[in-house]
Each structure stands twice: as structure tokens, then as C-alpha cells.
């Protein structure tokens, strides 16, 4: 383990509640900046309005007859749901600097979630047959990343105060919707997303040996916009 002074430096961009497509555009902009050396490794924490996305491994039978149609994206994995009360974390990382070890990268993403849940006395673990973070036989967090030229984006979704019935319109990651759970279901109370986001980034500072410093969206907006070549921000 590196000492604090030896850690890498990264950014934490806390967005609050933002539309999924807009956040995806920002990921693409940051990805280009990271590829060109104009940005640090960045964790984005965000909450989305209701949306369903399908990864590269999606099977149509798991999201048949959806209206509107789901958004198809570059990450691995099948279909999943994002919505209010769910904390989403995206990782725009240069994995070449981290040993080009995708297995460790996925393990580290899950480890940060496991440690965060432990703060609330929830004992969780990595899935053995299915990816994600599990509490016994229930899935509380889904993982789906994309990697281009050893640059990562997309990430993980942790169910906090999520309305679990919203998963019933799909087979999340090919599983029965009844397998999904949340911290609210387990604890009988709601958690503040901003508080959990702060805690999870603190754990990722340790897991990734990186000091993720807060960065304001206004500081990045013009640069991200210029990388996208649009007026999305």
C-alpha cells in the first residue's frame, strides 16, 4: 500500500441528478480528454431519472416490448435500470497506469461498494456466478464497464432508495427482477445519496491508491464541450 503522499491524484465530479444521455456525452468528452492527457482519472457520481440501458451482451428477450426503447451503449453486460434513489459511479481511468489488469479493476470497483455498505452494517460480497455486489442471494449493485485503448468508462450502480418495482419491466442482467435489493429494503430507512457518494469516493481513494479531489463541473464544462464539438453543456 502506498503512503498518502505517494498516491496518484484524480478528480471526483459530483453531478447530482442529471439525464443519462447528457452524462454519457460528458463521459465521452472526459474520455477524449483523458486519452490526450488533459484530464486526470475521474470518478463521476450521479443520479439519473428513470432510464433503461442495454450493453454489448444484451439479449432482446430480457427487455422485450419496452416502450420507449432502451438506450444501447458500449459497456459490457446486459440490460439494466437506472433511476431515482440509485447512486451511479462512472470511472474514466487510464488503465495503462494501473497495470492493464481488467480483473483487478472490476474487483476494485466492487471492493469500494462492499466497503461502503459495511459502513452501514451491510455485509456484501462479489458475485460468484454473476457479476455485481450481492447481499446473500440478493443483488444490490450492478457493474458494467467499457474499455477503449485501455481507457475505461461506464461503471457501477448501487441501489440505495431505488424503487425496486421499476426493475420488473426487464430481466436485469438476465436475472429475475425479484433478485434486486436496496439499502432501503435492507435497513428500513432511506440514505442520503450525497453522503453515500462521499463515502464511496473516500473508499475508492484507498482501493485505487488515488486522492480523488473534488472538481467543479463549471471548471470542466468548456473543455468537455470542446472535445465533443457540441453545445451539450
CA 160 to chain centre: 13
Are 125 and 139 a contacting pair, CB within 8 Å?
A: no
Catalytic annotation, pick one of 46, 87, 140, 173: 173
Are 132 and 141 a contacting pair, CB within 8 Å?
A: yes
Q: Could you give the residue ranges of the DSSP H alpha helices within 87-231?
A: 102-118, 183-187, 193-207, 217-228
- The terminus-to-terminus CA distance of the chain in angstroms comes to 38
Helix/strand/coil for 81: strand
Cα separation, 225 vs 223, in Å, equals: 5
205 belongs to the catalytic site: no
φ, ψ at 63 (rounded to 5°): -145, 35
For strand 79-82 and strand 86-92, is the pairing parallel, antiparallel, or unpaired? Answer: unpaired
φ, ψ at 56 (rounded to 5°): -65, -25
Give the residue numbers annotated as catalytic, written as ranges: 173
Amino acid at each position: 500500500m502506498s503512503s498518502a503522499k505517494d498516491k496518484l491524484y484524480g478528480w471526483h465530479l459530483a453531478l447530482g441528478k442529471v439525464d443519462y444521455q447528457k452524462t454519457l456525452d460528458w463521459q465521452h468528452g472526459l474520455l477524449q480528454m483523458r486519452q490526450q492527457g488533459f484530464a486526470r482519472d475521474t470518478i463521476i457520481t450521479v443520479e439519473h431519472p428513470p432510464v433503461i440501458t442495454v450493453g454489448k451482451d444484451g439479449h432482446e428477450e430480457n427487455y422485450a416490448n419496452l416502450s420507449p426503447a432502451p438506450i444501447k451503449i458500449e459497456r459490457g453486460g446486459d440490460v439494466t435500470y437506472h433511476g431515482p434513489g440509485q447512486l451511479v459511479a462512472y470511472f474514466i481511468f487510464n488503465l495503462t497506469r494501473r497495470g492493464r489488469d481488467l480483473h483487478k479493476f472490476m474487483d476494485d470497483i466492487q471492493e469500494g461498494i462492499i466497503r461502503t455498505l459495511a459502513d452501514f452494517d451491510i455485509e456484501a460480497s462479489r458475485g460468484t456466478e454473476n457479476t455485481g455486489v450481492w447481499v446473500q442471494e440478493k443483488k444490490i449493485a450492478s457493474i458494467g464497464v467499457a474499455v477503449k485503448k485501455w481507457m475505461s468508462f461506464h461503471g457501477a450502480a448501487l441501489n440505495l432508495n431505488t424503487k425496486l418495482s421499476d426493475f420488473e419491466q426487464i430481466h436485469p442482467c438476465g436475472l429475475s427482477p425479484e433478485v434486486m435489493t436496496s439499502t432501503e429494503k435492507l435497513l428500513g430507512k432511506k440514505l442520503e445519496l450525497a453522503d453515500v457518494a462521499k463515502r464511496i469516493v473516500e473508499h475508492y481513494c484507498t482501493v485505487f491508491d488515488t486522492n480523488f479531489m473534488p472538481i467543479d463541473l463549471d471548471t470542466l464544462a468548456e473543455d468537455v464541450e470542446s472535445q465533443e464539438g457540441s453545445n451539450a453543456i
